[in-house]
Amino acid sequence: MSDPHLESLRSFLKDTVRQQVDFRATEQGRGLPAPPLQKPFPSSATRIPLSAPESCRSLGQLDLFSAIANRESCREFADIPLGLDELAFLLWATQGVREVINPATALRTVPSAGARHPFETYLAVRAVKGLKPGLYRYLPFAGELVELNRGNHQTRRAADACLGQSWMAESAVVFAWTAIPRRTEWRYGAASHKVIAIDAGHVCQNLYLACESIGCGTCGVGAYDQQAVDRLLGVDGREEFAVYLAPVGKKLS
């Protein structure tokens, strides 16, 4: 290989990085407390309860084989709103909590290296029954949404922030995942960033399959203007920043 820049970027994918970490020097190794499992929110914020996961069981009638076989990226959506129970199902499928082990560790519906789960889920809502258009964040431990701001044109703003991928504006809701890298760095230090990227793939794959099972479509979006999406979500771009997005809507019949 002749390009040293590419070579150094490739090394990010190798486990050599982890092998060089002195785990006694990480925050966990030094006995420091783990960061919160979920980003705090203002106590005065409006919260919207979501259906319990078990009540979403009947929504997805497609067998797993068909969901996997039919999965494809969807960039055209029917102009039909999503049900709030359908949104609750998709949120549970992507980041729902299965079990809280202790204050530093919880297990979710997706795997995560060291069970660190470094993501927060934001929703730019255009058309979900029972939700005013606006920006929301999922609270997986309570099974709720927290309202961040109200206003129309959220999916349009997301599309603009994703380098003008205008098809995104026609979705019912855009999922946007941020990473809070410190949750993983607390345990893995410099070996965190490869596994954070792998973790994100698991989350979006569950979204693809869960969408398929309820007649929705989605498409992972990794091309976006970093500052514009961070601004849209109201995150600082250092301790928390956008890593991946996925518009969701009902499929055209």
Ligand X SMILES: Cc1cc2nc3c(=O)[nH]c(=O)nc-3n(C[C@H](O)[C@H](O)[C@H](O)COP(=O)(O)O)c2cc1C
Binding site residues, ligand X, CB under 6 A? 72-73, 75, 165, 219-223
Q: Least separation, in Å, of the C-beta of 196 and ligand X? A: 13
CB-based closest residue to ligand X: 222
Q: Least separation, in Å, of the C-beta of 224 and ligand X? A: 7
Residues, the chain:
253
The widest CA-to-CA distance across the chain, in whole angstroms, is 56
In the complex with ligand X, the residue whose CB is nearer, 50 or 93, is 93
**Contact partners, residue 21, CB within 8 Å, separation at least 6:** 188, 189, 190, 191
In the complex with ligand X, the residue whose CB is nearer, 37 or 229, is 229
Q: Least separation, in Å, of the C-beta of 75 and ligand X? A: 6
Q: Which class for 114: exposed (0-12), middle (13-18), buried (19 or more C-beta within 10 A)? A: middle
In the complex with ligand X, the residue whose CB is nearer, 55 or 66, is 66
In the complex with ligand X, the residue whose CB is nearer, 39 or 71, is 71
In the complex with ligand X, the residue whose CB is nearer, 72 or 101, is 72
Annotate 186-237 with three-state secondary structure: HHHHHHHHHHHHHHHHHHHHHHHHHHHHCCEEECCECCCCHHHHHHHHCCCC
Residue with tokens 């518009």: 247
Q: Least separation, in Å, of the C-beta of 148 and ligand X? A: 23
Half-sphere exposure for 213 (CA within 13 Å, toward CB): 22
State the Rg of the chain over Cα.
18
Q: Least separation, in Å, of the C-beta of 154 and ligand X? A: 18
Can you read off the two tokens belonging to residue 8?
A: 């150094």
Q: Give per-residue burial for 90-100: e unless 16+ CB within 10 Å, then b.
A: bbbbbbbbeee
In the complex with ligand X, the residue whose CB is nearer, 41 or 167, is 167
Q: Least separation, in Å, of the C-beta of 204 and ligand X? A: 7
